[in-house]
Structure 1
Amino acid sequence: MAPTTVKERPARQRKPDGQWKIDGTDPLNDDERIKAEDPGMSCRQRIIDIYSKQGFDSIAEEDLAPRFKWVGLYTQRRQDLGGEHTGNATNAELQDRFFMMRVRFDGGVVSTTQLRTVGGISRDYARGTGDFTDRQNIQLHWIRIEDVPAIWEKLDAVGLSTLCGCGDVPRVILGSPVAGIAADEIIDATPAIEAITSDWLHREELHNLPRKFKSAISGSPRQDVTHEIQDLSFIGVNHPEHGPGFDVYVGGGLSTNPMLAQRLGVWVPLDEVPEVWASVVKVFRDYGYRRLRNRARLKFLVAKWGVEKFRQVLEDEYLGRPLLDGPAAPVNPGNRDHLGVHPQKDGRFYVGVKPTVGHASGDQLIAIADAAEAHGVTRIRTTVDKELLFLDVEEQQVEPLKEALHATGLYPEPSEFRRGVISCTGLEFCKLALVTTKARAIQLVDELEDRLVDMDVPLKISLNGCPNSCARSQVADIGLKGQLVNDDEGNKVEGFQVHLGGALGFDPDFGRKLRGHKVTSAELGDYVVRLVERYREQRTEGEQFREWVLRADEGDLQ
């Protein structure tokens, strides 16, 4: 009997991922098609010439979404649609006829003149809204398309911009808010941030990335830019032979597939940072995955390649030279924020204060600028923890300034609850949100301050309206991810899935998700009080909240 011939199955053809250097530049989805047909920034002139004159209904659909993102505009959520509509209604059904506008503060840099201008815009065009973000920006709401050109003119007159505020571009560059002034600074990264924003940011060659690109540059030993969760970060470090420079991290990010950034293993001097920054962006542009939007962030490429291959491609194909090997920056063991009074290297002081969850009004922004100038301050900084820093304060002005800022609604000496709380925009304005967050966070802080003696250890509490973790819920002590949950009577109500013990810094990791444990928004205060009281009862001497969470019985965390 003749042997049976087994036919070899043909090799399965690889489905293209949309990597330009491998698969070519033919668009593989609608977003890529829209970007290829007309660059995102092209809508700016149409806003000025057409849409602002003819109104919301004149806006072309593909300009409204996604191209408006390139100029810092998103439609905001309709006020009459609750969280039950998220994911069930289309973007067009969820959106209102008003916009969120994002103003960039690269490096967190803002002058009193600029802040007063933003305050005036908020008062006159944005119904008094103003929210500082954890990316050192400020966001306004209720913006009408008819008013956008006038707003741009006012921003441009004081050196501010909304361009590249959103979209598949390099977003605002995070920087140490005490760059150039801190007494303990390793290296001042200001020249690198300024060079990138002036020489690279507005080049069209960087305006069609697979998705957004988040970067940070800080020479502070406090490591104050959340470098572990950025696409690209430069962190100050002293090289034993070459002196101060930067340790480099790539491939971080949160959302539904959280990943911590990895060290590239290199040391980069200050004057080479812009070139290395731009080259990493180009690697992402050319090799990033474009076919599936949910896999189009740099972290997926780094995870697939590994940092060794990433460094090799960066050096061989983009820089044309090897980078120097470098030491890892020592981990900062203390608080990364800048609240309180701190000495500057010139003998003056900087003062850090907290607006609750970053919320402010237009009139308040104007009052803050006025209070600063009345005490000799013209330089202000924003931070990734939504703080405001006032630089160059003379010693005799420190206490009067603190009193004046407190009178504007800021907190020079906040409780640990107020100090550590952060929230996203939530259901109030965001089309992705399932629950209310900002108002809930303010209410939670007030309740904790009333019911508990102030915490004697740091406590990060994060409220997010959806799984995207814009408020960093996965790396908070108490991370709260918004979702609709069942109450005791089986009704769908706003609530949160709980993540505990997340952290950056020493042993960075994502929070412990409690299986099946969810709390309704109405129960949130009771739950956090119960949790904090159990921690206080069970902690050992010097034990931080996160350390207790990692060893506690699950029942004690419920």
Structure 2
Amino acid sequence: MTTQTTTPQDAAGRPARPARTPKPNGQWKIDGTTPLNHNEEFKQEGPPLEVRERIESTYAHEGFDSIADDDLHGRFRWWGLYTQRKPGIDGGRTATLEPHELEDRYFMLRVRTDGAELTPDALRVLGGISEDFGRGTADVTDRQNIQYHWIEIESMPEIWRRLDTVGLETTTACGDSPRAFLGSPVAGIASDEIIDATPVIDEIKRRFIGDPALANLPRKFKTAISGHPSLDVVHEINDISLVGVEHPERGAGFDLWVGGGLSTAPRLGERLGVFVTADQAPDVWHGVIRIFRDYGYRRLRNKARLKFLLKDWGPEKFREVLETEYLGYALPDGPPPAPATRPGDHVGVHEQKDGDFYVGAAPVVGRVGGGTLTGLADLLESVGARSARLTAHQKVVVLGVPADRVDELVDGLEPLGLTARPSLFRRNTIACTGIEFCKLAIVDTKDTAARVIAELEQRLDEQAEQLDRPISLNVNGCPNSCARIQTADIGLKGQIITVDGEQMPGFQVHLGGSLAGQGHDAGGLGRTVRGLKIPATEIADYVERVVRRYAADRTDGESFAEWAHRADEAVLQ
């Protein structure tokens, strides 16, 4: 008997094309560990953390020209080092030049603090590194890092030696690794704290930071852990967040969020609906990061964040995999965090649970410098304060100020460029590094934002006193959203724009973004206004115009974000 085979046909009767085999996504547990791009190749060819030994033994002695390419443009990041932008290259050339044409022979360096207290000794070390090796530069980032510029490779062994003396590090401050942790600046001292997350952060760091098994992730992995009811660590936009909650039967613990992130494909994190005790938290963190390592997408860099895996899986599957494959036990259901009690920047004077005070102070868009850090150390000692912490909003919080020395501290901060009584816009404006040092940037940010703040302080001083809600202004130098533009009341994304046939630095506008810890009841992404692009020289004009319109049009208690989402586009121009 002859068996006749039939060729599959399409609807028109033509031979059907064979189905395409889907391309592997580079998920280790599904596709295997064969590298699918050069980033994955160099991470397997030489463990990234091992580059520190080469820096100390070879590159620091033989200089910049001795650095191997995959170390310079790859593995150095695992120790907080990126080459910085060469001066004089305008933003219009950012996308047209190769990385080696944009980069200088100097480095940006990030020092992670992970929500830790910075003693006067630590502040002096940080200030000394700025003055001795960074031409006086130092910024407080919105990841609670201290970021330097103008660092030479020859200086790194001494910088690491100094950091070691005060318990600070640059380990996995950048790279495809567990980045710096966000922790509450008032952990352990706030009278209204739900749970002190400091022991959890310390235990995770002790067990896992620097672990080679976690040093080859698909991309970066960001962590936020806080037990303060102000929701002060922007938990909605981290890969993993543990947020303090009170369980009705189990007491204080954490609500678990995963899969948040911004950049060009913003996505807010989602709750898994579980309750995590402080004892369980390190293992839960370890489980989530290993899911990312094992199942995260590695083929395309722009799809390699945890948020893309969560989008495809959904929170129910993510929870199931976490519990069955990585923990070996089920987590109980738990409550969501309550609405934020107040803004999470902690600016101003607040009483601690022990009767001392903490004081939150604002620099201008995070700029501090070596002199400010050293001067702050002297001021803390002179008033008998305990330490300082950094915030996720580019601010500084001084802890343990005796009640009778608070006024002296507040007055002493002003000459240092810090203020506990900032204007509306100095308090609520953050900015990324921008074109001054960043190879990805298109426009200036820090100096631009500082000029805008100064102008708005003059123009809207009386108006600001009438507003009962903060208005955040976030300024970013490129589309990557290091300054969180999609979650600001007014977010500015840098680009080259054309006005009357002339190209110039400008910004696309995002309006109505919010996060729970910024004085809003819930987080949400902002909207863009069609065709709205503003020259850098006209930012203050635009902000003044839209804030005055908000003040005139809003209903009782309506936030800027709520108003911006309901307003007609014509009103927002």
- TM-score tier, shorter chain, comes to over 0.9
- Please tell me whether the aligned partners of residues 108 and 383 of structure 1 are also in contact (alpha carbons under 8 angstroms): no
- What is the alpha-carbon distance in structure 1 between the residues aligned to residue 403 and residue 379 of structure 2? 16
1:441 matched to 2:449? The reply is yes
> 2:118 is paired with a residue of what secondary structure?
strand
Q: Percent identity between the aligned chains? A: 55
Q: Equivalent of 2:318, from 279, 303, 310?
A: 310
- What is the alpha-carbon distance in structure 1 between the residues aligned to residue 170 and residue 44 of structure 2? 22
- Please tell me whether the aligned partners of residues 78 and 175 of structure 2 are also in contact (alpha carbons under 8 angstroms): yes
Matches within 5 A, 1:494-509: 494-505=505-516, 506-509=521-524
- Distance apart, 1:232 and its partner CA: 0.2
- Please tell me whether the aligned partners of residues 108 and 176 of structure 1 are also in contact (alpha carbons under 8 angstroms): no
Write the deviation string for residues 272-323 of structure 1: whole angstroms up to 9, x where unpaired.
1011101111010000000000000000000000011111111111111111
- What is the alpha-carbon distance in structure 1 between the residues aligned to residue 27 and residue 568 of structure 2? 46
- The aligned residue for residue 13 of structure 2 is none
- The aligned residue for residue 132 of structure 1 is 140
- Distance apart, 1:4 and its partner CA: 8.5
- Please tell me whether the aligned partners of residues 143 and 392 of structure 2 are also in contact (alpha carbons under 8 angstroms): yes
- Please tell me whether the aligned partners of residues 108 and 137 of structure 1 are also in contact (alpha carbons under 8 angstroms): no
1:464 matched to 2:476? The reply is yes
For 1:335, give the aligned amino acid: P
Q: Equivalent of 1:82, from 90, 100, 103?
A: 90
* Corresponding residue pairs, total: 556
- Please tell me whether the aligned partners of residues 133 and 384 of structure 1 are also in contact (alpha carbons under 8 angstroms): yes
- Distance apart, 1:9 and its partner CA: 4.6
Q: Structure 1: which 5+ residue stretches go unaligned?
A: none
For 2:560, give the aligned amino acid: F
- Please tell me whether the aligned partners of residues 185 and 219 of structure 1 are also in contact (alpha carbons under 8 angstroms): yes
Moved more, 25-34 or 330-339: 330-339
Write the deviation string for residues 482-540 of structure 1: whole angstroms up to 9, x where unpaired.
0000123x111100000111111234211110101100001111111111121222223
Write the deviation string for residues 390-448 of structure 1: whole angstroms up to 9, x where unpaired.
11111101111100111211111001111100000000000000000000010000000
1:417 matched to 2:406? The reply is no
1:555 matched to 2:534? The reply is no
For 1:195, give the aligned amino acid: E
- The aligned residue for residue 494 of structure 2 is 482
1:473 matched to 2:485? The reply is yes
> 2:160 is paired with a residue of what secondary structure?
helix
Matches within 5 A, 1:342-491: 342-454=350-462, 455=464, 456=467, 457-488=469-500, 490-491=501-502
- The aligned residue for residue 244 of structure 1 is 252
Matches within 5 A, 1:128-167: 128-167=136-175
> 1:76 is paired with a residue of what secondary structure?
strand
CA pair 4-552 structure 1, distance change in 2 beyond 3 A: same
Moved more, 102-111 or 139-148: 102-111
- Distance apart, 1:35 and its partner CA: 0.1
- Distance apart, 1:333 and its partner CA: 5.0
Q: Equivalent of 2:192, from 144, 165, 184?
A: 184
- The aligned residue for residue 279 of structure 2 is 271
- The aligned residue for residue 528 of structure 1 is 543
Q: Equivalent of 2:18, from 1, 10, 26?
A: 10
- Distance apart, 1:170 and its partner CA: 0.3
- Distance apart, 1:200 and its partner CA: 1.0
Write the deviation string for residues 202-235 of structure 1: whole angstroms up to 9, x where unpaired.
1110000000000111010111000000000000
For 2:542, give the aligned amino acid: Y
- What is the alpha-carbon distance in structure 1 between the residues aligned to residue 117 and residue 392 of structure 2? 12
> 1:110 is paired with a residue of what secondary structure?
coil
- The aligned residue for residue 533 of structure 2 is 518
- Distance apart, 1:543 and its partner CA: 2.3
> 2:435 is paired with a residue of what secondary structure?
helix
- Please tell me whether the aligned partners of residues 258 and 272 of structure 2 are also in contact (alpha carbons under 8 angstroms): yes
Write the deviation string for residues 532-555 of structure 1: whole angstroms up to 9, x where unpaired.
121222223322222221222211
Moved more, 540-549 or 74-83: 540-549
> 1:324 is paired with a residue of what secondary structure?
coil
1:323 matched to 2:331? The reply is yes
Write the deviation string for residues 445-467 of structure 1: whole angstroms up to 9, x where unpaired.
00000111252230100000001
- What is the alpha-carbon distance in structure 2 between the residues aligned to residue 225 and residue 496 of structure 1? 27
1:492 matched to 2:500? The reply is no
- The aligned residue for residue 291 of structure 2 is 283
Q: Equivalent of 1:228, from 209, 228, 236?
A: 236
The alignment's TM-score, normalised by the length of structure 2, stands at 0.95
Q: Equivalent of 1:193, from 201, 205, 219?
A: 201
Matches within 5 A, 1:14-53: 14-53=22-61
- What is the alpha-carbon distance in structure 1 between the residues aligned to residue 345 and residue 257 of structure 2? 20
Give the RMSD, CA atoms, in angstroms.
Answer: 1.4
- What is the alpha-carbon distance in structure 1 between the residues aligned to residue 374 and residue 73 of structure 2? 32
For 1:236, give the aligned amino acid: G
CA pair 33-407 structure 1, distance change in 2 beyond 3 A: same
- What is the alpha-carbon distance in structure 2 between the residues aligned to residue 557 and residue 477 of structure 1? 12
For 1:497, give the aligned amino acid: Q
CA pair 538-29 structure 1, distance change in 2 beyond 3 A: same
For 1:262, give the aligned amino acid: E
> 1:350 is paired with a residue of what secondary structure?
strand
- Distance apart, 1:109 and its partner CA: 2.9
- Please tell me whether the aligned partners of residues 218 and 235 of structure 1 are also in contact (alpha carbons under 8 angstroms): yes
> 1:87 is paired with a residue of what secondary structure?
coil
For 1:518, give the aligned amino acid: K
> 1:525 is paired with a residue of what secondary structure?
helix
- Distance apart, 1:51 and its partner CA: 0.8
- Please tell me whether the aligned partners of residues 231 and 298 of structure 1 are also in contact (alpha carbons under 8 angstroms): yes
The alignment's TM-score, normalised by the length of structure 1, stands at 0.98
- Distance apart, 1:39 and its partner CA: 0.9
- What is the alpha-carbon distance in structure 1 between the residues aligned to residue 456 and residue 17 of structure 2? 65
- The aligned residue for residue 348 of structure 2 is 340
- What is the alpha-carbon distance in structure 1 between the residues aligned to residue 24 and residue 157 of structure 2? 41
Write the deviation string for residues 74-109 of structure 1: whole angstroms up to 9, x where unpaired.
000001111011111111110000000000101243
- What is the alpha-carbon distance in structure 1 between the residues aligned to residue 5 and residue 561 of structure 2? 66
- Please tell me whether the aligned partners of residues 66 and 167 of structure 1 are also in contact (alpha carbons under 8 angstroms): yes
- The aligned residue for residue 12 of structure 2 is none
